[in-house]
Amino acid sequence: MKPTAISLFCGAGGCSLGFKQAGYSILFANDKDAAAAETYRNNFPETTCSEQDIDTLDFKKLLPSLGLKQGELDILIGGPPCQGFSTAGTRFWDDPRNNLLKSYINALKALKPKWFLMENVEGLLTSNKGKYVFEASKAFLELGYDIRIEKVYSQEYGIPQRRKRVLIVGNLNGHEFKMPSPTLKVSGQIFKNSDVTLQHAIQSLPRATNEKNKLLASILSPPKDNFDRLMRDGADFISDHYSPVVDGIQLERISNLKPGQTMKDLPENLQHESFKKRANRRVADGTPTEKRGGAPSGIKRLHHNEPCLTITGAATRELIHPTENRPLTLREAARIQTFPDSFNFYGNKSQKVQQVGNAIPPILARIFAEHIKDDYGFEVKNKSSGKLLGFTLTKAGAMSPALKRTQDLLNGLTKNKDQQGNLFD
């Protein structure tokens, strides 16, 4: 029998796809974004995908409709978006910005899955001075989960992109869970040297068209490598592989960019007005931009022989093809995120690229899904309390003051059980 999963905040379904490829049955999914839900339903017709507000979902009623009792679900996947800093003077769980996290924990409480996997941006670790991840961890522990928190560098797992994300994995099975070992050795500054690069992701795609709705016949030549074979996935046609004609000053800007260069490397007469204003502004205390993390980079020319920069909702505007004078196409961005060519996206252009940018790379999800299923399993042992198994906040040689605050908070969970308190107190 296949392991069972429910996906919350499912988006287009990157995490679901990885778990499906690993042999799981996705019983139910939810996302309030209508375009993302349409994409999900078209790619996972066997799964019920709801657009209902998660605050109003009754998970206790959901279980019997799926043929399950509390505690029988194998894993809950997906995670609530971090809503940023809490309002000053407001108790953490009273702050409306934390409602999505609260709803997620309520889902865990009602479903009692044997495992959960929660993914988020790396800012989760420092949001609200570390209190967000600290309070979430306390809640997971109170529900009896043993948890591990780690910043994951996706390029170490064969993803052709430098993408850092936070994963929190918990289980009720009493397993001393450890993250799967990286599949690749990466090196260099910000891990830009890797055996899987941007070129691996996009090398076999046909030349992009300028026609928005044109389908391109899939390449019939033998796959160039195993990654290319995974991306083709039996697709007969390539969709969303188009780029509007670039001309005028934008073409001049792009034409002048060499691989690795950004807007700041262009002559001043080619820099965008809004870029120049932002680059030269000072904050109220007089601190110049170069002392505040640098100017905005705007467009960026990519390297063929390195993992791509992080795919975001701006990828098809700002990330420039390494050899052609145009931004990436949606299909190129999807391949860099490891969506196969058979996976189609729905909605307008901005909705589609947002779906791609928000997704967990399916190959990364598959690695974790197989690791949990094959190396640990779903047999529940008798245990009464949760514990923090460990955490890795950075692989850098030095730790920022913000991460140090988070480290101190999390260390308190391993040393002082009294700090756990009661859920939402």
Amino acid identity for residue 256 in this structure = N
* Distance (Å, whole) CA 384 – CA 423: 16
pLDDT of residue 220: 63
**What are the residue ranges in the chain where pLDDT is below 70?**
85-88, 188-193, 219-220, 274-297, 382-384, 415-425
Determine which one of 10, 15, 49, 82 is catalytic: 82
Which CATH superfamily is 4-187+363-420 part of?
Answer: Vaccinia Virus protein VP39 (3.40.50.150)
Model pLDDT, residue 277? 59
Residues in a beta bridge with 320:
301, 327
pTM of the model: 0.91
* Amino acid identity, position 304: H
- Nearest CA-CA partner of 69 in 78, 54, 59: 59
pLDDT the model gives residue 57: 95
Cα–Cα distance measured from residue 87 to residue 98, given in angstroms and rounded to the nearest whole number: 10
pLDDT per residue as tens digits for the range 334-390: 999 999 999 999 999 999 999 999 999 999 999 999 999 999 999 887 666 899 999
Question: What CATH code is assigned to 198-359?
Answer: 3.90.120.10
Instruction: Say whether 82 is catalytic.
Output: yes
Domains of the chain, residue spans: 4-187+363-420, 198-359
Q: Which residue has the tokens 């050795």?
A: 185
Q: Which pLDDT score is estimated for 290? A: 44
